[in-house]
Structure 1
Amino acid sequence: MNVLVIKANNRPDGISTRMYDTFLENIKDNKEVNVSTYDVFEEDTPYFGQEVFTGLGKQHEGLELNDTEQRLLDAKQKAKDVISEADVVVVAFPLWNFTIPAKLQTFIDYLAEAGFSFKYTAEGALQPLLTDKRVIFLNARGGNYSDPSMAPIEMSLNYMRNIFGGHFGMKVADEVVIEGHAAAPDQAVEIIEAGLEKVAKVASELSYQNA
């Protein structure tokens, strides 16, 4: 089983960074899996824009790409390749300003391609194409966004569910959320440690059998 672990936080002391590290530490001895990693901040992930579409058009016509277009299409292809090779995708990411980091959004933009992650049927309906994969979310957010009064402005985990689980069709196999540690600093240590224990459990129990 090929497991891809995506890191979407470049803060060394970030809670989702700790979740990422904890997951890797607890899966490293699992003989059933081959683990690879992808750091959206360390990889070359130029932002998605018109240059991508121009490059794709040139590529289709067999024309030479400029350096910017080639760089973007290479980054896009690498993102598609690492997803294609994975049976399980694990994403460790924070809530920043109510949503996901821009670099993670760029990675998703690379993947959201008709014919790769979805297609349209003859009737015009959207059909996901990555239904053979599982996804695990490791999300950290300082406030209590599970509270009904806060839930409507939580656009990180909810967005990831809709994209990976809905638009791409992956099975959401597990979620670990660490939240409230900033809102309740006197309880932060306990909240974080309890969450990291859950991350360790998910990692250590990952197998073909819990598909």
Structure 2
Amino acid sequence: MRKLLQLNSSLFQGGGQSSQLGDAYVERWLQDNPQGQVNRRDLAAEPVPHLNLARFQAFTTPEPERTPEQREVAAYSDRLIAELQEADVIVLGIPMYNFSVPSTLSSYFDHVARAGITFRYTPEGPEGLLANKKAVVFITRGGIYGEDHAQSAYVRQFLGFIGIQDVEIIHAEGLAVGEESKQQALDSAREQIAKVA
């Protein structure tokens, strides 16, 4: 049975445009995978805590030496990672906030980038350990910045860092420019869903 993990990061939760585009993809995916299993995580509704020194030390402390508090922190991260490990397809809904990804998504990334678990260092450089997965990313923006913007590059680089090389990014831009621009961008994104689903 194929599994899909949907990650939403819009402040508007299910009402956000990036979330709705992700929902449209998931609906199409389920048509093609009627026995498929979908796991959804809304990072606005249930934000991942900001990474601080105590949480980082919980990750780097050997398991037998962890305090009860550190074990709880590590177990939380382990659950997030397990969702990624089990998924065949990861769908991310990402609006642009202040030229980057929402802070909740950045915190999520901080909790799933774990040396020895999702990546490892080698003499040739870091190697991602989450191979053979596909990511479909919906990036929505009020303005028009282009597909080569640093936000898109960051998302692609992070996913590649943990081993996810098959990444499809669909942009919907100009959503705040005007109603016509918004509708054209959303219609174009939905047309692309049919091609990549």
Q: Is 2:40 the counterpart of 1:26?
A: no
Q: Is 2:174 the counterpart of 1:180?
A: yes
Greater CA drift, 103-112 or 6-15: 6-15
Distance 2:142 2:94 in 1: 12
Q: Any idea what the Cα deviations from partners look like across 1:132-191, whole Å, max 9, x if unmatched? A: 2221111111211118xxx5xx332211001102x1221234221111222344422232
TM-score by length of 2: 0.85
Q: Rg larger in 1 or in 2? A: 1
Q: Secondary structure at the match of 1:156?
A: helix
Q: CA deviation at 1:90?
A: 1.2
Match of 1:163 in 2: 158
Residue from 46, 65, 68 that aligns with 1:65: 68
Greater CA drift, 75-84 or 96-105: 75-84
Gaps of 5+ in 2: none
Gaps of 5+ in 1: 207-211
Aligned residue identity for 1:140: T
| Maintained 8 Å contact 1:161/1:172 | no
Q: Secondary structure at the match of 1:136?
A: strand
Q: CA deviation at 1:44?
A: 5.2
Change (3 A) 1:75 1:155: farther
Q: Secondary structure at the match of 2:38?
A: strand
RMSD: 2.3
Query: Percent same amino acid among aligned pairs?
Result: 22
Q: Any idea what the Cα deviations from partners look like across 1:94-128, whole Å, max 9, x if unmatched? A: 1111000111011111111111121112x262222
| Maintained 8 Å contact 1:46/1:72 | no
Within a 5 Å distance, the mapping from 1:172-211 to structure 2 comes to 172-199=166-193, 201-202=194-195, 206=197
| Maintained 8 Å contact 1:7/1:38 | yes
Q: CA deviation at 1:59?
A: 5.7
Count how many residue pairs are aligned between Structure 1 and Structure 2.
Answer: 194
